[in-house]
A and B are shown apart, each in its own frame.
Chain A
Amino acid sequence: MSEREHRGPKPKGFDTLALHAGQSPDPTTGARATPIYQTAAFVFPDSDHAAGLFNIERAGHVYSRLSNPTNAVLEERMSALDHGVGAIVTASGQAAMHLAVATLMGAGDHIVASRSLYGGTHNLLEYTLKRFGIETTFVDPRDTNAFAAAIRPNTKLVFGEILGNPGLEVFNVPVLSEIAHAHGLPLMVDATFTTPYLCQPIDHGADLVMHSATKFLSGHGVVIGGVLVDGGTFDWEGSGKFPTLTEPYEGFHDLVFSEEFGPQAFITRARKEGIRDFGACMAPMTAFQVLQGLETLPLRMQKHVSNTQAVVDYLAEHPLVEQITYPGLPDHPDHELAQALLPKGAGAVFSFAISGGREAGRVFIESLELFSHLANIGDAKSLVIHPASTTHHRMDRAALAAAGIGEGTVRVSIGLEDVQDLIADLKAALRKVEKR
């Protein structure tokens, strides 16, 4: 190797991409903002043009379930921010998860997943997909060897959340991608908690990334949406385990996606089959609203993180707070990994236990006035929930314990309010717990 130094051109910065990627001023009207193309279908100039669109000879839109210009702006912007070759926006984060699974596998296949997952995802993997012949083995997200041990000949995917829910275990993307790749498998990461502002999993070895766009990406809490991003990095043919991508597809005149679309094979199959046939598409109005949030993602995430750190610092000193689970704290088992993968901050969601168990937790949550008690995270407003009775209520005590959830655990998502007001609200609620 030569000793010469080489330097490529400087890429556009994250803040610039969050504002511009995927959209240029509308060439017809001059509109600077992304227009909302609220239409079900698109007119064909002539029949040959129509045939060309259906046969993937031409680029363009046919029907808004398959693609839509407003959605395409969001898809391209998320691809740029996550360093993927392409993306598909979906009706929800759950739909994005299902789209990925349905594109990669079928009955008789198997997934290895972290056991520390959002309750809805856990339910999908543990119960619903099993009914369709897809099984999942859940393993401790910190035990990387357990992932390798759980891989079977029919395994098709390794999956986890970048920050476990609600235990906030940091998913060791570099190590787990090596393990997955060594077995000819892709690694998919749910990066909802961090957004690409705090972590770009593809740069650390992940092949697929999914988000619930309902959360920090949009930030306003007014829409339900999801995003599936293809890194374009995985060697489907080299793996030999993915006939949906490497063998002729009868549903599209024997098209072989890996042969015809190179690094875009996965995302093209997902659009040409998954979003077409299952139909869990995003509404254009929703894409527009997510885009409005995405424009300020860098600014919002900075304040989410700084507010969270201040709140965590306050709670850490409070005598009623028994334990805070936040990877930004030095005593968190994954603190070092968090510093490596999340150098801009460990997000704005954390959990803590109040002494007094379930009843203390109830009094605390019901005494908060500024925090909203609801089942969501990543809103601009601060949120609080009791996982054992809500998001994870389907799990029995053992499963709760395995996921790191105690009966008195409270999960908070810190918003963008003045941090002194958040601390005052917490202080007042803790006082009521003290006096009960």
Chain B
Amino acid sequence: MKTTLRGTEVFYGTGTGQAGLNAPTVVFVHGAGFDHSVWVMPARYFARHGYRVIAPDLPAHGRTGGDPLTSIEAMADWLAELLGEQAHGPAAIVGHSMGSLVAMSLAARHAERVNKIALLGTSAPMAVGAPLLEAAADSHHAAIEMANTWSHSMAGSMGAAQIPGVSNLVSGERWLERMAPGVYHADLAACHHFSAPLSALSEQPTLIIAGGADQMTPARAGLEVAARLANVQTLVLPGCGHSMLSEQPNQVLDGLAKFILE
């Protein structure tokens, strides 16, 4: 779905759904360097179950134009504006990795837009190592190789993808290669410098899904976030890496469905 925001064309996926503005809404926020298409399966699930699905491409990602936003707070404000035009009432916000930080920030800065948050592959803070940041700053392919390799568990990179016939590892690389220069560094730097407003989220109904074999945001980091929240559920996926949407899409969907539909 195309719309215009701040004078720039914006795209968001709908899961091929047609729910109207008054339908219950689920918003999916992608991670650094990705776009809405990583959410294809849960987006289609919630669309079929009558939800209005909004899976935006953040500025400079996927089909959305403009320059990359340079802070998580700026992304949250941008998303709040988009939701102001595209959704009535508060929404369930689902974010993966960088998107989980955007969900946190949105819930803290624009609480009226949010009724639940699901944080996938999260940590707070989300420090990014210097080698990755520097390679991204130079738009060097090594940044993609580092992030992509570390985002997959051994099982996820080597074998037995749940989606028949795909290579998760190569697919992850191709997704990241579609970015324009400068976008990845802007995303990673935004993650690196973000200070999570966890105290403002204390009572927010929250689901944290952590990968048991996540090397980017280890499960213990996600559980530490959970420990600072009062109204939280956790789901740890054994053997799953950071790329949980491709490695264990069915378990992620089951967790989200239980949390959002209940």
Contact = CB atoms under 8 A, between A and B. Distances in A.
Q: Is A bound to B?
A: yes
Interface of A: 1-2, 4, 6-9, 11-12, 17, 20-24, 51-52, 55-61, 67-69, 71-73, 75-76, 79-80, 83-89, 231-233, 253-255, 259-264, 267, 271
A6 B155 contact: no
Given A8-B135, A80-B170, A86-B167, 4 more contacts: A22-B160, A52-B45, A58-B249, A76-B165
B170 A84 contact: yes
Interface stretch (B144-152, B205-213, B224-232): B144-152
B149 A267 contact: no
25 contacts: A6-B135, A9-B145, A21-B167, A22-B159, A24-B160, A56-B40, A56-B41, A57-B44, A58-B253, A59-B163, A59-B164, A68-B164, A71-B164, A72-B164, A79-B170, A85-B170, A86-B165, A232-B171, A232-B174, A259-B63, A262-B37, A262-B38, A262-B178, A263-B178, A271-B164
Interface in B38-79: 38, 40-42, 44-45, 48, 63
Q: Which of B37, B134, B149 has the most CB of A within 10 A?
A: B37
The 6 closest A-B pairs by CB, nearest first: A8-B145, A75-B165, A67-B164, A6-B142, A59-B162, A79-B167
Contact of A57 (B42, B131, B134, B175): B42
Nearest to A248: B16
Contact of B48 (A51, A73, A80, A271): A51
Contacts of A79: 165-167, 170
Contacts of B131: 6
B16 A61 contact: no
A261 B167 contact: no
A67 B165 CA distance: 8
B127 interface: no
Nearest to A80: B167
A73 B158 CA distance: 10
B242 to A, nearest CB: 14
A380 B175 CA distance: 38
Contacts of B255: none
A89 B150 CA distance: 29
Interface of B: 13, 16, 35, 37-38, 40-42, 44-45, 48, 63, 131, 134-135, 137-146, 149-150, 155, 157-167, 169-171, 174-175, 178, 249-250, 253
B28 to A, nearest CB: 13
B149 to A, nearest CB: 4
Chain B at the A interface: SS class: helix
B164 A232 contact: no
A262 B35 contact: yes
Nearest to B42: A57
Given A6-B135, A11-B149, A85-B171, A20 B158 contact: yes
Given A22-B160, A76-B159, A232 B170 contact: yes
Nearest to A49: B250
A289 B72 CA distance: 51
Contact of B167 (A4, A59, A84): A84
Contacts of B171: 85-86, 232, 263-264
Contacts of B150: 9
B138 A73 contact: no
Given A6-B138, A21-B158, A233-B174, A76 B167 contact: yes
A11 B253 CA distance: 30
A21 B144 CA distance: 21
B37 A259 contact: yes
A384 B204 CA distance: 73
Q: Which of A7, A20, A232 has the most CB of B within 10 A?
A: A232
B165 A72 contact: yes
A311 to B, nearest CB: 36
Contacts of A261: 37, 40
Contacts of A21: 158-159, 167
